[in-house]
Amino acid sequence: MIAFLIKRLFHAFLVMFIISVISFAIQDNLGDPIQQMVGQSVPDSERAELREELGLNDPFMVQYLRFAKNAMHFDFGYSYFYGEPTIEVVLRHLPATLELVFATTVLIMLFSVPIGVYSAIKPRSPLSRLFMGVSIVGISIPVFLTAIVLIQIFAIGVQFTPFPVDTGWGSWLNGLLSTDGGMPAYGRGDVVHVVGTWSTNFASLEGLSYLVLPSISLASIMLPLFIRLIRAEMLEVLQSDYVKFAKAKGISMRRIYFVHALKNTMLPVITVGGVQIGTLVAYTILTETVFQWPGVGLMFLDAIERSDIPLIVTYLMIVGLIFVITNTLVDLIYGLVNPTVKLTGKPA
Amino acid sequence: MTIAPTSSSTTSPSSRWARFRSSYLLYSFKRDWIAQVCFAVFVLLVAAAILAPWLASMNPYDLAQIRILDSELPPFWIDGSDPQYLLGTDAQGRDLLSTILYGARVSLIIGFGAVMLQALLGVTFGLLAGYLGGRVDAFLMRMADIQLSFSTLMVAIIVGAVIKATFGGAVYSEYAVFILVLIIGLAEWPQYARTVRASVLAERSKEYVDAARVMGFRAKRIMFRHILPNTLSPIFVISTVQIANAIISEAALSFLGLGMPETQPSLGSLIKSGFDYLQSGSWWITLIPGAVLIVLVLVINLLGDWLRDVMNPRLYKG
């Protein structure tokens, strides 16, 4: 176990090292800090002096080591746009994204397990076929398009009038097809301050209503993936010898499905889930753009628009760190719960 | 004529057409109506996109043909529409049907281009990693792991952002097609590399490879002439899904402003430019191109699913 732990940690450090080199290369090659610090009227000689003073003429390695040392203290310099330390800007925007990701994860867990298990237990039932059909449609709809459609239906409202309006039954049917809209679809609304930079949407019903559309959009892209994965793994597990043996022993099917089979189904789901966190972070950029959700994704996109290099670099490092920590944790948990994994070698 | 014409069409194994006609692929295609419908829709969309300059009533790239007074006209089934514009017009007065045809063309070009680049990189690296093994394998697969742990879309967004910050917005939009092919190609090669490597590992220990090696063929010849043809069916299957993914990635990048400019729109940038007018009630500018995008990606995904079932390649895990 210790060897496995060390190997994983080494891997994590290697990845962080690569990310930091890439981030530094971006910072080094793009944007001129001198340009940002001084005005047009400052003569070249003073610029050169400042350049020397800031150590911008040092060799690449020296500059990289300085960057890495500062990064260890989460010091990434000042944002061009906000004029304050970038880490503070990121920390201010991070809670919004984390709350969105949390709400999405809850939705995914609530729906993917029952649906996935059901369609594995009854693969031929019409309901399973419907779930599978809907899930491939779900995979095919880009997350920002789901968001736009949800906004149109639930925030703006849709008026369909295919039936005659002047009759009672006609307007009733029209009412069924139409929606009033009115769901909030812009920003976070009123948030309740908790501690530090963390304000939450979970404290009030009004705050929760702002989470509904963004989290459903974000969940819509991951949910089909998890449903298909759980179904596939469960189908495989149900073919295995120990399930057949349990059946032969006369254990109730309910117990076999939910105690014996589900446990082993969830193992691969943990690993895939960990990897998917990366995808989820990428999709928050899209979701936050559509809903103007003031999280790190929107902040990152604005930073690109404004060529705010220090902020871009800070985002890369922080998101990279989150990826590396979650991936390492997932690997370790997987190693702990699955005794068949070869601890020193590659996970099976 | 020495060969009887009746027997040549059924028994001759040399004719590719005959082999195709008696193949399991065609047999199951004939029995699967979903696959037929998807294939028909896909061919229709591709044909419409290729023939866009002849089908479209106006050229959306030509500023002289655009009448700004006709902007935001609704599609034909809504009051206030102009029969000249079947699906209405966008905010700049461009005929929506024409822009969609041209947009689908751009999306498909980028989709296919990116997948070709991915396949080129992925197949080469996968063959090298699987056949040579050792340090090459460890290095390439570690790279693929790291890149995949970041998710392909994330990598694409970061690379796009860096290119945009380096060269500026004007250069970026001028060469957007090439840049997008490059970005999406670079972001997704690990998918191919992993699949190919897994199949190569399975093929490498087979006798025909040993035989080729004993005959003294060079590694390059064995890799590309002997092993590669035997790994084609998994490559073929993932290629379908990858095209759908590439089209979605392109749309996502365009939606974020890191893709095609509005003057040369793809489906993604059409959706983006229409999104600003959603609140004012002009839903068609964004939702009609959106529907086309969904249908395009959906039929490709369904065809991919069908291919996976029919060819049943052993998509090795790992």
Structure tokens at A152: 């149109």
3-state secondary structure of B280: coil
Asked if the structure places residue B105 within a domain, the reply is yes
Distance CA B318, CA B311 (A): 20
How many A/B residue pairs have CB atoms within 8 Å? 99
Domain total for chain B?
A: 1
Q: What span, in angstroms and rounded, lies between the C-alpha atoms of B68 and B75?
A: 17
B290 CB within 8 Å of a chain A CB: yes
Does position A131 have pLDDT exceeding 50, yes or no? yes
Question: What are the φ and ψ backbone dihedral angles of B301, each rounded to 5 degrees?
Answer: -65, -40
- Contacts with A296 from chain B: Cβ below 8 Å: none
B275 — contact with chain A (CB < 8 Å)? yes
B78 vs A: CB within 8 A: no
Q: Which residue of A has its CA nearest to B148?
A: A275
Query: Among candidates A182, A185, A186, which has minimal Cα distance to A157?
Result: A182
Spatial separation of the C-alpha atoms in residues A313 and A27, rounded to whole Å: 7
Query: Percent of chain A beyond pLDDT 90?
Result: 9
8 Å CB contact of B290 and A145: yes
HEC readout, B108-177: HHHHHHHHHHHHHHHHHHHHHHHHHCHHHHHHHHHHHHHHHHCCHHHHHHHHHHHHHHHHHHHHHHHCHH
Q: Which domains does chain A have, with CATH numbers?
A: 2-30+74-337 (1.10.3720.10)
B111 — pLDDT class (breaks 50, 70, 90): very high
Question: Which pair of tokens denotes residue A105?
Answer: 């994860």
User: Three-state SS across A240-269?
Assistant: CHHHHHHHHCCCCHHHHHHHHHHHHHHHHH
CA gap B185, B182 in Å, rounded: 5
Q: Apex CA B67: angle with CA B64 and CA B68, to 5°?
A: 120
Which chain B residue's Cα is nearest to A185?
B279
Residue of A nearest to B167 (CA): A30
Q: What is the C-alpha separation between B246 and B112, in angstroms, rounded?
A: 8
Average pLDDT, chain A: 82
CA–CA distance, A117 with A125 (Å, rounded to integer): 13
Residue numbers of the domain that contains B54: 29-311
Rg (CA), chain B: 23
Note the pLDDT tens digit of each residue in A250-263: 888 888 888 888 88
Residue A339 has a pLDDT of 64
Q: Which amino acid is at A162?
A: P
Interchain pair B257, A305: CB under 8 A: yes
Sorting pLDDT into bands at 50, 70 and 90, what band is B313? low
Give me the DSSP letters along A288-312. HHHHT--SHHHHHHHHHHTT-HHHH
Query: Which among A136, A282, A289 has the least Cβ separation from residue B301?
Result: A136
What whole-number distance in Å separates Cα of residue A259 and Cα of residue B221?
A: 52
A330 → chain B, closest CA residue: B149
Give the Cβ contact number of residue B12 at 10 Å: 11
Whether pLDDT at A146 is above 60: yes
pLDDT on residue B297: 92
Q: Which stretch, A25-29, A190-194, A206-210, has highest mean pLDDT?
A: A206-210
Put simply, whether B302 touches A (Cβ < 8 Å) is yes
> What tokens appear for A172 in the block?
């009733």
Give the other-Cβ count within 10 Å of B50's Cβ: 15
Q: What is the pLDDT of residue A345?
A: 46
In total, chain A counts a number of residues equal to 348
Residues 131-160 of A with CB under 8 A from B: 136-137, 139-145, 148-149, 151-152, 156
Residues of A in contact with B286 (CB under 8 A): 148
Q: What residue in A sits closest to B256 (Cα-Cα)?
A: A286
Tell me which of A21, A140, A179, A318 to substitute to probe the interface with B (most B C-beta atoms closer than 10 Å): A140
| CB-based contact B221:A266 (threshold 8 Å) | no
Nearest to A142 among B146, B251, B287 (CB): B251
**Cβ neighbours around A243 below 10 Å, total:** 17
What ipTM describes this predicted complex?
Answer: 0.80
Q: Give B293→chain A minimum CA distance, Å.
A: 8
How far is the alpha carbon of A329 from chain B, nearest alpha carbon, in Å?
13
Which of A26, A149, A282 is opposite residue B151, by nearest beta carbon?
A282
CB contacts of A275 in chain B (<8 Å) are 148-149
B131 falls within a domain? yes
C-alpha A217/C-alpha A104 separation (Å) is 9
* B170 lies in some domain: yes
Consecutive H or E run containing A327: helix A309-337
DSSP lists the bridge partners of residue A200 as A192
Per-residue model confidence as pLDDT tens digits over B49-83: 888 888 877 777 777 777 776 777 777 777 766 77
Per-residue pLDDT band for A175 (boundaries 50, 70, 90) equals confident
Residue B2 in tokens: 């020495």
- Chain B: nearest CA to A20, how far in angstroms? 13
Q: Are B252 and A286 a contacting pair at CB < 8 A?
A: yes
A positions 22-61 inside 8 Å of B (CB): 26, 29-31
**Nearest chain A Cα distance for residue B11, angstroms:** 39
pLDDT band at A347 (very low <50, low <70, confident <90, very high): very low
Interface residue B138 vs chain A (CB under 8 A): no
Q: How many CB atoms lie within 10 A of CB A182?
A: 11
User: Quick one: pLDDT band at residue B121, thresholds 50, 70, 90?
Assistant: very high
How far CA B127 is from CA of A260, B55, B187, B208, B219, in Å, comes to 40, 43, 19, 16, 10
Q: What is the mean pLDDT of residues A187-211?
A: 78
Query: Taken in order B90, B94, B96, B100, is the CA torsion positive or negative?
Result: negative
Say what the pLDDT of residue A344 is: 45
Which of the pair, A63 or B121, is modelled with greater confidence? B121
Nearest alpha-carbon partner for B204 in B108, B128, B286, B136: B128
Lowest mean pLDDT among A66-70, A231-235, A248-252: A66-70
Kindly report the nearest CA distance between residue A267 and chain B, in angstroms.
Answer: 15
A335: exposed, middle or buried (C-beta count within 10 Å: 0-12, 13-18, 19+)? middle
* CA B161 to mean position of chain CA atoms: 22
Tell whether B99 is covered by a domain. Answer: yes
Domain assignment present for B12: no
Cα angle: A327, vertex A332, A335; to 5 degrees: 125
User: Tokens in use for B166?
Assistant: 């380096």
Return the bridge partners of A92, or none: none
CATH number at residue B92: 1.10.3720.10
Q: Would residue B271 count as lying in a domain?
A: yes
Is B24 part of any domain?
A: no
Of A210, A223, A323, the closest CA to residue A269 belongs to A223
**Residues 241-270 of chain B whose Cβ lies under 8 A from any Cβ of chain A:** 244, 248, 251-252, 255-258
Assigned domain for B152 exists: yes
Q: Is the CB of A286 inside 8 Å of chain B's CB atoms?
A: yes
Q: What's the CA gap between A228 and A233, in Å, rounded?
A: 9
- Cβ contact (<8 Å) for B244 and A140? yes
Mean pLDDT of A288-314: 87
Q: Do B252 and B153 form a contact (C-beta atoms < 8 A)?
A: yes
Residues in a beta bridge with A192: A200
Q: State what percent of residues in chain B have pLDDT above 90.
A: 17
In this complex, is the C-beta atom of A323 within 8 Å of any C-beta atom belonging to chain B?
yes
Within 13 Å of residue B254, how many CA atoms lie on the same side as its CB? 35
Test mutation, A134, A146, A148, chain B, max B CBs within 10 A = A148
Burial degree of A22 (CB within 10 A; 0-12, 13-18, 19+): middle
Contacts for B241 with CB less than 8 Å, ≥ 6 apart: B300, B301, B304
Provide the mean pLDDT of chain B: 82
Nearest residue on chain B to A346, alpha-carbon basis: B318
Of A214, A206, A100, A221, residue with least CA distance to A150: A214
* CB-CB under 8 Å, A31 with B248: no
The residue of chain B with its CA nearest to that of A155 is: B279
| Contact (Cβ atoms closer than 8 angstroms) between residue B89 and residue B162 | no
Over residues A91-105, the pLDDT tens digits come to 989 988 988 999 998
Say yes or no to pLDDT of A335 above 60: yes
Question: Helix B96-132 to helix B267-275 angle, to the nearest 10 degrees?
Answer: 130
Give the gap in angstroms from C-alpha A273 to the nearest C-alpha of chain B.
Answer: 11
